[in-house]
Structure 1
Amino acid sequence: MKKNYLLKVLLMAIISTTLSTTTLFAQENVRILKADPNTNSITLKNFGDVTATISGYWFCVRPQYAQLSSMTTVTTLAPGAELDVASSINFPVSSGEFALYSSSGFGSSANMLDFLQWGTGASPSRESVAVAAGLWVADTFITVSPPFQYNGDGTQNGVANWSTLGIDDFEESSSLRLFPNPSSTILNVEFKSVVAEGTLQVYDILGKQVYAQSISSNIEAQIDVSEWETGLYLIKVSSENGQNIKRFIKQ
C-alpha cells in the first residue's frame, strides 16, 4: 500500500510539473507574414499558442508611426490566426523598411516584434534596433520583387526567410468578391456572408482613403468609380465577420 501511495504522489507531481511548464512557456508570437509596399498592405499572424492582444501594437516606417487600433477594429489575434491590415502610413516601394512594435518605445529592442527591409539603396534607421532584438542581420536586404512573404515558422528571423508573394496568394483568404475587376464605371463588392454592420473603405496606391461607406444587412455593395483616377486601389471591409482586403484596378 505504501508503494502504491508513493507512486500516486510521484505521478501527481509529474503531471503538476508538466502542466506548470506548459503554462509557463505558453506565449503569443505575432509576426509579419506578408508585406506589400505597392499597396501598403500587411498581414500579421500569431505563431504563438495563446491569444495576443494587438490593439496597442504600432507600425513604424520612420519617420511615420501609427497605432494598429487606428487601422482596424480587431483587438486580439488567436493562435494561428491571421489579420490583413491596410496601413495608414506609406511604405517606400523600391527601398525601405518596416517594423512592428508592441508599444511606442521605438528605440527599444524589447518593444520590437518584427522587422524587414528591402531594396539595395535603403537608408536603414531601425536596423540597429532589429539587430539588437535578434530579428535581422545588419546590411542585409530583401532583393526579390514585392509583395513579400515570410516562410518561417515564427522562430526564424532574417532575410533568408522572405520570398516573393503572388497577388493571388495574398488575397486567397479574402471573403470578398470584386466584379468586374478591372472596371471603369461600376464596381460590385460581394460578401460571402451577410454583413449586419460594418464599413467599406477604399485606399489609393499611396495609402490615402478615397472612399468610405457604412454597410448594414447586405451581401453586396456597389461603388461608382467612373470619376476615380486610373490605377490600383485597395478595398477594405471591416465588420463583425472580421476584416478583409482585396485589390481593385480602375481602368
Structure 2
Amino acid sequence: MKKNYIVTLSCFFFLSFHLTIISQIRFTKVDPVTDIITIHNFGNTMIDVSNYQICKKFQYKALNQLTLNSGTLILQAGSDVTLSNASLDVTNSDLGLYQDSNFTSTTSMLDFLQWGSSGNGRESVANAKGIWTTGNFIATTGPYFYHGNGAENGLPFWNNSVLSIEDVTFSNQTFIYPNPVNTNLNIKNNANQKILKAELFDILGKRVLMSNSSTTSISSLNLKNVAKGVYFIRLTSNLGSMSYKKVIVE
C-alpha cells in the first residue's frame, strides 16, 4: 500500500510539473495582416512544440505545417519561434493554441485571443478554462502583442503596439497604493504624463470599472463597490502610454 502511495504521489507531482511547464507556452505576437505568429516559452525547460496545434474558427493546423521564419520548434526556455502561413483572418476572428488535437478540451488549450467583434470559434473553451471572457474582443487592427508575464491572461494583456521607451518609463514611474486596498486606491505618476484613463479588469479580463478624464490626471479610484479579489488595472496616459498593475481588493 505504501509503495502504491509513493508511485501515485510521484506521478501526481510529475503531471503537475509537466502541466505547469506546458501552460507557459503561448502567443506573444499575432499579425493577421502578414499572417505571422510568434510563440514564446515562458517556462524553464525545453519543449518540442512541433505537433502543437492552432485553431482558427474551427480550422486547424499543426505548427510543423506552418512556415518557419525564425527560431526552432524545439523551443528552449525563454526563446521564441516565429511562423507564417497560419491562414489568419484579418477581421473578426479568433486563434487558439493547443498542445494536441483535442480542441474542445480546456486542458489541451494553452492560449486564446480574439479580435474584431464576432467570428469566434473556441471562445467557450477559453472561457471555461478561465483565460478569456466571453464577448471580449481586441477592437483595434493588428498586429497584436501580448504584454503579460506568461501567467496573465485575457484582454487587458493584449494590444496593438509594442511597448515603447515611453511606455516603460510611464509604467516604471507609476505607482498604486495601498495594495491590498479596501476602498480608495491612490494612483501616483512621477513621469511627465497625465493619467487620463483607468480601467479595472478581473482575472478573466472583464472590465468592472473605468474612469475617464479629459484634462486632469486621475489620482485615485473608489473601489468600495468592487468585490474582493485579484484584479488588474490598466492606466493610459495623455500620450497613449500604458501601464498594467496587479491590485488586490480586500
> Match of 2:120, as an amino acid?
P
Q: TM-score, normalised by structure 1?
A: 0.53
Q: Does residue 75 of the first structure (1) align with residue 69 of the second (2)?
A: no
In the TM superposition, 1:81-230 aligns within 5 A as: 81-88=79-86, 90-120=87-117, 122-165=118-161
On the 8 A contact 2:41/2:75 being kept in 1, the answer is yes
Name the structure 1 match of 2:239: none
1:41 deviates by 0.6
Would you say the 8 A contact 2:92–2:120 is kept in 1? no
CA distance in 1 between counterparts of 2:42 and 2:139 reads 25
Residue identity in the other structure for 2:21: Q
Change (3 A) 1:163 1:66: same
**Once the 2 structures are TM-superposed, how far is the Cα of residue 145 of structure 1 from its aligned partner?**
2.1
Supply the distance in 2 between the matched residues of 1:72 and 1:86 (Cα, whole angstroms).
Answer: 5
1:79/1:130 CA distance change after superposition, 3 Å: same
- Alpha-carbon shift at residue 59 of structure 1 (Å): 1.1
For 1:38 and 1:24, the matched residues in 2 are separated by 37
Q: How far, CA to CA, are the matches of 2:55 and 2:158 in structure 1?
A: 19
**Deviation at 1:72?**
4.9
State the structure with more CA Rg. Answer: 1
Deviations 1:15-41 (A, max 9, x none): xxxxx99x9587241110000011111
Unaligned runs of 5+ in 1: 1-19, 169-251
Q: What do you get for the CA RMSD once the two structures are aligned?
A: 2.3
Distance in structure 2 (CA, Å) of the matches to 1:103 and 1:50:
19
- Is the aligned partner of 1:60 residue 2:61? no
Alignment match, 2:235: none
Q: Distance in 2 between matches of 1:81 and 1:67?
A: 19
Gaps of 5+ in 2: 1-12, 165-250
Partner residue in 2 for 1:189: none
Query: Which structure is higher in RCO with an 8 Å CA cutoff and minimum separation 6?
Result: 1
The secondary structure found in structure 2 opposite 1:128 is helix
- Corresponding residue to 1:49 among 44, 48, 56: 44
SS of the residue corresponding to residue 85 of structure 1 reads strand
Post-superposition Cα deviations, 1:115-148, rounded to whole Å, max 9, x if no partner, equal 000012x132200001111110111000122100
- Percent of matched pairs sharing the same residue: 34
Length-normalised TM-score, structure 2: 0.54
Deviation at 1:163, TM superposition (A): 1.1
Could you tell me which residue of structure 2 aligns to residue 203 of structure 1?
none
Find the residue that maps to 2:127 and give its secondary structure: helix
Aligned length: 145
